[in-house]
Chain A
Amino acid sequence: MRTLDRKLLRDLVGLRGQAIAIAMVIVSGVATFVMSVSTLDSLRRTQETYYRDYRFADAFVSLKRAPEEVRSRIREIPGVDFVETRVVAAATLDIPGFPDPVRAKLVSVPDEGAPLLNGVYLRQGRMVDPRRDDEVVVSEPFAEAHRFLPGDAFAAVINGKRKTLKIAGIGLSPEHIYQISPGALFPDYKRYGVLWMARQPLATAYDMEGAFNDVALKLAPGASLPDVILRLDDLLTTYGGLGAYGRKDQVSHRYLSEEFRQLGTLATIFPVIFLGVAAFLLNIVLSRLVGTQREQIAALKAFGYANRDIGIHYAKLVALIALAGSAVGMGAGIWLGQGLSELYMDFYRFPFLNYALSPGKAATACLVSIAAALLGALQAVRRAALLPPAEAMRPEPPERFRETAIERAGLKRLLSQPGRMIARHIARRPVKSLLSVAGVALACAILMIGQFQEDAIDFMVDVEFRAAQREHLTVAFVEPTSRGAIHELRSMEGVEFAEPYRTVPVRLRSGHRTYRTTLRGIEPGARLYRLLDTGLRPIEMPSSGILLTDQLGKILGVRAGDRVTVEALEGRRPVREVPIAALVKQYVGVSGYMDLSALNRLMGEGEAISGAYLFTDRRRLPEIYRKLKEMPRVAGTAIRENEIRSFYETLGETLLVFTFINTLLAGTIAFGVVYNSARIALSERSRELASLRVLGYTRGEISYILLGELAVITLAALAPGFLIGRGLCAYIATNLASDLYRVPLILEPDTYAFAATVVLVSACVSGLLVRRRLDRLDLVAVLKMRE
């Protein structure tokens, strides 16, 4: 068999251009698979270790205020293993040299010892000293954004009192792997931070001495979370409990889980496309190879090689290409996976990352790609193995051609002889032509996926922040305040107008389905905070009834006209049945909306407001910030434009990297398909083309015949490519939709243009490579050769 193996290697060298093009497609498939799977595995493993070592809680609940004694009653709930009571407070920070208002979440850590649950991983410095009342540990992304070091200080307004805080250390917590402020669309590390403070000083500053307003629980093995939640809610109702929830509703954990789900999708879609295309390419290349080697196969059989030997010989060739592709793909995948994991670390703050590719997954990648390659080549290998020697001795019979449907339809006169040759070649093997079109179309589709994310994000930002929420600033009060407070804001210099809002934490219920969210009351005719109907047109706030985000309607299984039960989780905790007036479109989060007065009536309260939206003279913003920071009632301020800008800064680089990789991958497919088709067409037709050269055709004219076919295939692939791309984007959008956010299916003309351009450029490059070979066509040698 050794001589046969030598032939194999020489065949491979002869086919190197095509073999490399196919291997590149396999490389892309294996690389995307290894990249996504290894990143996913690494993040999961890291998450698991982190959760375990830093005791991430199983259940959480916030409440208004409960005396510390309640702790032991929580402990007695069956199934509860540990209970950690905490004080959690909102604060506004005043950071030297940074004029924008900064919001912070202050979380207490026990005065003695480390937290039982949700431990703090110290990156720098030390934990807080409980004997000092001004020390904090700040979250790492926040510290990085402001270049804080232990020893630095800033001012904070807690519960209306101004206080200087010193940084003792910089840390991380499993509770805030994804650090995002409540209600925000994107993380903004400059304007939102998590701070840990010793329990005693924080309780003192927040009027929580001998009490707590937040609980974290660890469940005993085998305990039922729903049971514990039910009893906990029962117990804490009198203390203003806002409803307990498990890990799956914890914000940071939710985002992480969503991300894992997306990575899982990525690990399936892309490799399937790439390996499918590789299988197809191997099929056409090997079929051609077997065709040209008929006489060799016959000779080998005449010498006594068995069918099986011949089959194995060609299968080896395929396996070699797949193996080489897998090996390079593995390397590239690990490299990309490490890079991707690093990128993830910008958004998901783990203290460490255990990057690892499990040998099992690596072996899977190799085996799957080899299997796909062999499957693609199966038909050609079988044909080689079963070829009867006597038949193989004769040259392949000439291909049968017929007039194409276009010509029969009477359009024959429109086509020149070369034009007819192109049309008949395409029509002769419709399946192969269709698969080539499909391959190029998939490349086009992959390119669209990359651009789609960008288009969708731009669109979401545009709708949410330019059409719906048009305020410059959102001011939140420490607690519901009388409506009069709005006048104070309106009278500030630079504030052009202010609109009040009221938020109430609620549990919405329809049948057995429930959802915890906030109910937002806004004034009818509001200009700053507008609601959009499902067609994205602004709708008027009805004076009665509730509006729900369409996604919330889905979650609760309700439609406009149905009724939903509203259980308020603050104040007197009224429970009312309210009709649903309409569903509204919203891409981020889910909420309910009511007329401000109607909401206040439902709550049985007077004219209370929770905050206001401000529209300002932007030139006076610094002044406004300063004044707001001095107002004790103001718990926080959010600035729209800055949030958006900071998001794009963080995301910009990531998107660029993704677009680049995507373009590279899709380019590989387009190149692989067009180049291989061109090379095969060249080898099948070099004799014919050389004959035409001898008959006086120029290089340009024969190039037209050969490359014209590829141009037709490439151009024909664009429209289906756009359709498949749109379909894949729709699939991804549907797959991503959750109560956290929904990605709209938006594809800008630029996206189509970009995808088409990359495909055409790849096709042109492979066309040029083949054109070079056409120019070197040896006329004499080709004529001597018998077909």
Chain B
Amino acid sequence: MPRTEIRNAHPADGTVFRARGLTKIYDMGEVKVHALRGVDLDLFPGELIVLLGPSGSGKSTLLNILGGLDVPSGGTVLYREMELTKATERELTEYRRQHVGFVFQFYNLIPSLTALENVAVVTDIANNPMRPEDALQLVGLSDRRDHFPAQLSGGEQQRVAIARAIAKNPAVLLCDEPTGALDYVTGIVVLEALERVNRELGTATAVITHNADIAGMADRVVHLRSGRIHEVHRNEQRKSPRELRW
């Protein structure tokens, strides 16, 4: 497959993402669902933002569009100098392959591969990956590298998923309810892993959640409601995940 080169240079203002006037309408036959009604959002290098909102607020739709999994009905998204909204299917695949790391609510590990192999499945196809062992070490799972998903706890599975997401050295990490399926203690461990990656590697990170308490660990918190940005506030001081309570 021909590689589409996406230049690593940032645009003049240094944003990773620049979304303008994003709308998304799902055509459900007779009903039209307005998932996004005009969203403007920037994400800067090294920043950790939390997208907060009740279900149906459009946060997942926004994340999917940023991740190149979905296309908006209107508006533009610029990733560095590439206009995602105009990219072909092939370019989007390449974009996901080299630049974005995903973490899902239900981990989505490959059951037939061990922890290490689940990470390797991504490093195999990326241009500039870290060693899978190093990625696992970063999330504190070196000793579980040869375990299959069925042999790991939920928190461990999610940490493998984070290792898998960061192993390609992505410019941006997108996390959809990463603690949604986990209990409190495990959730904190997973958030610590995310925070550490953001701090040590400087990966711009967007975390979706409906859990307002997680917002404390963000640089910026974006509140979504009914497809619009309702409010943005900046934390003066990021809390460490250990200080979070819910």
Distance between Cα atoms of A400 and B60 in the complex (Å) = 31
With A691-B110, A783-B104, A783-B108 known to touch, is A417 a contact of B121 (CB < 8 Å)? yes
A695–B97 touching, CB < 8 Å = yes
B150 within 8 A of A: yes
Chain B residue with Cβ nearest A412: B117
Q: How far is the CA of A687 from the CA of B106 in the complex (A)?
A: 11
A784 to B180 alpha-carbon distance, docked (Å): 12
Which of A205-213, A420-428, A432-440, A760-768 touches B? A420-428
Interface mask (B51-70 → A, CB under 8 Å = 1, otherwise 0): 00000000010001001011
| Residues A698 and B112 in contact in the complex (CB < 8 Å), given A400-B150, A401-B148, A780-B69 | no
Check A687 against B148 for contact (C-beta < 8 Å).
Answer: no
A695 in contact with B1 given A424-B112, A780-B69, A783-B108 (CB within 8 Å): no
Question: Which residues from A are CB-within-8-Å of B150?
Answer: 397-401
Task: Tell me which residues from 112 to 146 in chain B have a Cβ below 8 Å from any Cβ of chain A.
Answer: 112-113, 117, 120-122, 124-126
| A784: nearest chain-B partner, CB-CB | B60
Which residue in A398, A401, A692, A786 is a CB contact (below 8 Å) of B121? A692
The answer on a CB contact under 8 Å between A697 and B69 is no
Write the chain A residue with the least CB distance to B168: A696
**B122 — which chain A residues lie within 8 A by C-beta?**
695-696
CA distance A698 to B168 in the complex (A): 16
B195 at the binding interface (Cβ < 8 Å):
no
A605 at interface, CB cutoff 8 A: no
A691 contacts B108, CB within 8 Å?
yes
Bound together, the chains give a CA A679 to CA B56 distance in angstroms of 33
Q: What CA separation (Å) do A694 and B70 show in the bound complex? A: 11
In the complex, the answer to whether A695 meets B96 with C-beta atoms within 8 Å is yes
A12 → B minimal CB distance (Å): 24
Is the beta-carbon distance between B125 and A691 smaller than 8 angstroms? no
Residues of A within 8 A of B164 (CB): 695
Query: Judging by beta carbons under 8 Å apart, are A694 and B125 in contact?
Result: no
A421 and B70 CA atoms in complex are apart in Å by 28
Given A399-B150, A694-B96; A417-B120 close (CB under 8 Å): yes
CB of B202, distance to nearest CB on chain A (Å): 21
- A696–B169 CA distance with the chains assembled, in angstroms: 13
How far is it, in angstroms, between the C-alpha of A688 and the C-alpha of B109 when the chains are bound? 7
Interface positions, chain A 399-434, Cβ under 8 Å from B, are 399-402, 416-418, 420-421, 424-425, 428
Q: Inside 8 A of A696's CB, which chain B residues have their CB?
A: 93-98, 100, 122, 125-126, 168
Q: Are B148 and A421 in contact (CB under 8 A)?
A: no
A688–B108 CB distance below 8 A: yes
Partner of A421, one of B64, B69, B112, B125: B112
B93 contact from A399, A693, A784, Cβ within 8 A: A693
- Give the residues from 677 to 699 in chain A that come closer than 8 angstroms, CB to CB, to chain B: 687-688, 691-699
Contacts of B64 in A (CB 8 A): 780
Given A398-B111, A780-B70, check contact A417 B124 (CB 8 Å): yes
Contact in complex: A687, B108 (CB < 8 Å): yes
A144 at the interface (CB under 8 A from B): no
The interface size of chain A toward B, counting residues with CB under 8 Å, comes to 33
Distance (Å) between the CB of B85 and the closest chain A CB? 16
CB-CB under 8 A from A113, the residues of chain B are none
Any chain B CB within 8 A of the CB of A221? no
Interface assignment of B149: CB less than 8 Å from any CB of chain A: yes
Tell me which residues across on chain A come within 8 A of B67, comparing CB atoms.
694
A402 to B111, CA, bound (A): 10
Determine whether A641 belongs to the interface, using a CB cutoff of 8 Å to chain B: no
Q: How many Å from the CB of B104 to the closest CB on chain A? A: 6
Cβ of B102 within 8 Å of any chain A Cβ, yes or no, is yes
Instruction: Tally chain B residues at the interface, Cβ within 8 Å.
Output: 36
Q: Are B1 and A700 in touch, CB under 8 angstroms?
A: yes
A689 to chain B, nearest CB (A): 9
CB of B83, distance to nearest CB on chain A (Å): 19
Q: Chain A's nearest CB lies how many Å from the CB of B150?
A: 4
Residues of A within 8 A of B60 (CB): 784
Is the CB of A779 closer than 8 A to any CB of chain B? yes
Interface centre among B100, B121, B124, B168 (most CB of A within 10 A): B121
Task: Kindly state whether residue A562 has any CB partner on chain B within 8 Å.
Answer: no
Which among B100, B106, B113 is the interface contact of A417 at CB below 8 angstroms? Answer: B113
Candidates B95, B125, B168; contact of A697 at CB < 8 Å? B125
**A700 partner residues in chain B, CB cutoff 8 A:** 1
Q: A688, A699, A779, A786: which contacts B111 (Cβ < 8 A)?
A: A688
Q: How far is the CA of A687 from the CA of B111 in the complex (A)?
A: 11
Contact, CB under 8 Å: A428 / B97: no
Q: In A687-742, which residues have CB < 8 Å from any B CB?
A: 687-688, 691-701
* Cα distance, A424 to B164, chains bound together (Å): 20
Residues of B contacting A416 with CB < 8 Å? Answer: 124
Known: A694-B96, A695-B102, A787-B106. A402 touches B113 (CB 8 A): no
Residues of A near B1 (CB, < 8 A) are: 698, 700
Distance in Å from the Cβ of A53 to the closest Cβ of chain B? 70
Can you name the residue of chain B whose Cβ is closest to the Cβ of A688?
B110
Partner of B110 from the list A397, A692, A698 (CB cut-off 8 Å) is A692
B93→A400 contact, CB < 8 A: no
- Asked if B111 and A691 make an inter-chain contact with CB atoms under 8 angstroms apart, the answer reads no
Chain A residues closer than 8 Å to B120, beta-carbon distance: 417
Nearest chain A CB to B28's CB is how many angstroms away? 13
A530 to chain B, nearest CB (A): 64
Q: Report B65-83 CB contacts with A as 1/0, cut-off 8 Å.
A: 0010110000000000000
> Using an 8 Å CB-CB cutoff, how does the interface string of A23-46 with B read, 1 for contact, 0 for none?
000000000000000000000000
Task: Give Cα distance in the complex from A784 to B60, angstroms.
Answer: 10
Complex formed: what's the CA distance from A783 to B121 in Å? 18
| Given A417-B124, A696-B97, A780-B70, A400 and B148 contact (CB-CB distance below 8 Å) | yes
Residues B112 and A691 in contact, CB atoms below 8 Å apart: no
Kindly report which residue of chain A lies nearest to residue B119, judged by CB atoms. Answer: A417
Which single residue of chain A is at the shortest CB-CB distance from B99? A696
Nearest-neighbour CB distance to chain A for B125, whole angstroms, equals 6
Contact pick for B97, options A691, A697, A784, CB 8 Å: A697
Q: A417-B124, A424-B112, A425-B112 are in contact. Are A698 and B106 (CB under 8 A)?
A: no
Chain B: minimal CB distance from A710 (Å)? 16
Question: When the two chains form their complex, are residues A421 and B110 in contact, meaning their CB atoms are under 8 A apart?
Answer: yes
Report B50 CB to chain A, min CB distance, Å: 20
CB distance from B57 to the nearest CB of A (A): 15
4 more A-B contacts (CB under 8 A) besides A401-B148, A696-B122, A780-B69? A397-B150, A694-B96, A696-B98, A784-B60
- 29 A-B residue pairs with CB within 8 Å: A398-B150, A399-B112, A399-B150, A401-B148, A417-B121, A420-B112, A420-B113, A424-B113, A687-B108, A691-B108, A691-B109, A691-B110, A693-B96, A694-B67, A694-B108, A695-B121, A696-B94, A696-B95, A696-B98, A696-B122, A696-B125, A696-B168, A697-B125, A698-B93, A780-B69, A780-B70, A783-B104, A783-B108, A786-B106
> Closest 7 CB pairs between A and B?
A696-B97, A691-B108, A696-B96, A424-B112, A417-B121, A398-B150, A401-B112
